[in-house]
Structure 1
């Protein structure tokens, strides 16, 4: 495997972060600021440098490399595989009936199944139901394929997200990359570092990813009571106080970020489903817990491998980024300290992370986690 990384800032040309190499039919993962991805020449510029490349774009709430986290750039990671083959499939939810389950199912069913080892998904993050998307992908994968990835971001604006394959980035797009090969190896791990606090309450009214009532009371009113003065900063403040969700269907609890609020209905819009009769608690964290969770995720992803990793794709949550603030690079440094300086690192801060629970196979939508995918061949 050979890799090359480049970076582009507004009104500047692409600059190499690594040694310039001539690559043959590389896969290029391009993560960056949504405004910069809207520039007309973002695709053509890369295509001129890598004429035979397969270029995948995703907008972010921050770009990740081994050296820094940046908000105002586009980072391209070009990968030439020696033995691994890959297929790239797309879907656009703007061109469908917005059935996220069917979208996920159809996306995975596009792939040649024989020899398919791993699918990495870069999904639009503005209005997809990530829970239903992962359920649909699981239905098509039939517990035989590791699926990881994330929902694109748009800083903390939540206006729109962009993605694309071999064209200019656009709204509504979902891109999936399927990897094949006997020598290909992918491992993963997720950890959050968030702790529940306060009373546990029962969801008494919800629909899909909209939460209306807890213990028979308006959900938004209760949430504002907990936040006190911080409730004036909603919906942004909600990223610092997500919900821990327990359901009868899942063995493990999961975290749901509150993306928006509806004052007229006293409701909260979450990043994924919130089933009736599930139990929820508020969560909080601190910088040390987030950094420790990232280190733990890196250790677990590395420990279950047969071979040393060559590429690390990190998907972390916008909520973690807001907590870390000026110390944002600490969680990346923890990962690099575990996997080693010789591993190429790329990734994004997202609106949702896609991976199974640790030691499981069915992928789930997560919030507020560090999700690490380690790849080698």
Structure 2
């Protein structure tokens, strides 16, 4: 595997952080601030750098390159696979009337199954129901095929997110990269580091990822009551206090953050499904707990691996970044301590993360976690 990495600051040219070498048909992953990705010349600029490259874009809430976290930048990693191959497909949610389950099923059906080891998804993040998207993919793929990825971000603006494949970044795009090869090893894992507090409540009315009522009362009103003065800063302030959602008493809890609120309907729109009857509790965390969570995620991802990871794709949640503030890079350093400095790292801060629970094969949508996808040939 040959890897070239570069970074672009606002108003500047790309600067290579590795040796600039010629690559054969590379996969070029480009993560960056949404406002910078709106530059209509950007795709042509990168295509000139990598004429034979297949270029995938995703907007972010912060960019990760090696051991550094930056804002208002674009980070780029170009990968030439020497023993394996890849295939990229994309769809737009508008083509499917916002039916993410149908989109996911159609998207995965276009990948030849022979030799397919893993699918990595970079999805629109501002309106998508990530749970439904994953459900559609999981329904059509074999359980042995791995699935991970993330929802694009837009800092803490929550205005719109962008993604694309071999075109200028646009709204509503969902891009999937399929990895093929007998010698290819891909592992993924996630972990949070958040703790529940306050009373547990029951979801008494919801539809998909829209939360209407808790214990028979308007969910948004209850949530605002807990937030107090911070309610005026919604939906940004919700990132500091996500919800723990358990579909049953013994189920593994899934963390859900709020993507948006609807004042007229008095509802909360979350990144993934919140089924009726689920048990809900507010959550909070500290900088140290989040950093430790990143370390645990890295340990899960490296557990039972046969080869040293050559490339690490990191997706962490914007909520973690807001809590850690000036100490954000500590969680990336914790990951590096586990996987080693030999691995090339690229990633971004997101509105949602996709990975299986430890010890499980089925992918789930998470919020407030550090998610790793480790790749080697």
How high is the TM-score relative to the length of structure 1? 0.98
Aligned residue number for residue 345 of structure 1: 345
Counterpart of 1:78 in 2: which secondary structure? strand
Task: Provide the residue aligned with 1:70 in structure 2.
Answer: 70
Aligned to 2:201, the other structure's residue is in SS state: strand
Post-superposition Cα deviations, 1:138-181, rounded to whole Å, max 9, x if no partner, equal 00113231000001111111111111111111111111000111
CA separation in 1, counterparts of 2:118 and 2:329?
28
In the TM superposition, what whole-angstrom CA distance separates every residue of 1:300-333 from its partner, at most 9, and x where no partner exists?
2112201111000000001111101111111011
Asked if structure 2 preserves the Cα contact closer than 8 Å seen for 1:187 and 1:304, the reply is no
> What are structure 2's unaligned runs of at least 5 residues?
none
Counterpart Cα distance in 1 of 2:23 and 2:262: 49
Compute the displacement of 1:235 (Å): 1.9
**Greater mean alpha carbon deviation, residues 189-198 or residues 13-22:** 13-22
**Separation (CA, whole Å) in 2 of partners of 1:205 and 1:298:** 36
Q: Equivalent residue for 1:96?
A: 96
The within-5 A match list for 1:71-220 is 71-220=71-220
Distance across 2 between alignment mates of 1:295 and 1:26: 30
Contact 2:356–2:364 under 8 Å retained in 1: yes
Report the Cα distance in structure 1 between the residues aligned to 2:49 and 2:250, rounded to whole angstroms.
47
Kept after mapping to 2: 8 A contact 1:203/1:280: yes
Whole-Å separation in 2 of the counterparts to 1:11 and 1:94: 32
What is the Cα deviation at residue 248 of structure 1? 3.4
Q: Does the aligned pair in 1 maintain the 2:126–2:259 contact within 8 Å?
A: no
Check conservation: 2:249, 2:279, Cα contact below 8 A: no
Shift of 1:250: 8.2
Q: What secondary structure sits across from 2:89 in the alignment?
A: strand
Shift, 1:249, TM fit? 10
Please list every run of at least 4 consecutive aligned residues from structure 1 whose deviation after the TM superposition is greater than 3 angstroms.
248-251
Match of 2:255? 255
Q: Distance in 2 between matches of 1:201 and 1:226?
A: 13
RMSD of equivalent CA atoms: 1.2
Which whole-Å CA distance do the structure 1 matches of 2:104 and 2:7 have between them? 31
Deviations 1:255-295 (A, max 9, x none): 00012222233221111111111110000000000000001
Q: Could you say what secondary structure the match of 2:40 adopts?
A: coil
Query: Across the two proteins, how many residue pairs are aligned to each other?
Result: 377
